[in-house]
Amino acid sequence: MVDGSRTTHDLAEEILELMPSLGRLLALCILEAGEEETTVMQVSVLLHILKHPITTSELAKKRRVSLQAASVFVRGLVERGWVVRSPDPNDRRQFLLQITPEGLERAQMAQRQMTDCLAQSLHDLTPEEIAATAIFLGGLRRVVQAQMTLETDEEPYST
């Protein structure tokens, strides 16, 4: 049933209420696959680096964390052999983060596991709910990416 009295504020509250549970579900999906060393955040960053090699400071800006926090996070990826630092051809003082074959394999495996697990959870939706969700997600992606582009003047951070 569609409730015409719902406002965008109501939807925002429901989305925010659902996000922690969705994050925990995805983390459990990774753990069930025996990927206890891999986190949802690591998968997200690895897949982003695959598409767009970036510096640690760019990662800090995109994640809205301190440079120190981003550096610690990156150091963990490097120590696991999932990322390497390569000299930036445009600025010799900087290093670009690039995913290694092992990092790519780990990220793709975890992403497949999360996708399969989430798809299984969505299995009980009706065809109408699936269609409505697809429309909603398309619109949500559009407005979020537009807002992120306006706020940061750069490509939105996504996987």
pLDDT band at 1; cut points 50, 70, 90: very low
CA dist., res. 118 & res. 125, Å (int) = 12
Domain range annotation of the chain:
21-123, 125-159
Report pLDDT for 153.
Answer: 52
Q: Where does residue 110 rank: exposed (0-12), middle (13-18), buried (19+ CB within 10 A)?
A: buried
- Residues 62-100: tens digit of each pLDDT: 888 999 999 999 999 999 999 999 998 888 889 999 999
Question: What CATH number is given for 21-123 in this structure?
Answer: 1.10.10.10
Three state DSSP letters for 86-110 = EEECCEEEEEEEEECHHHHHHHHHH
Over residues 27-56, mean pLDDT? 86
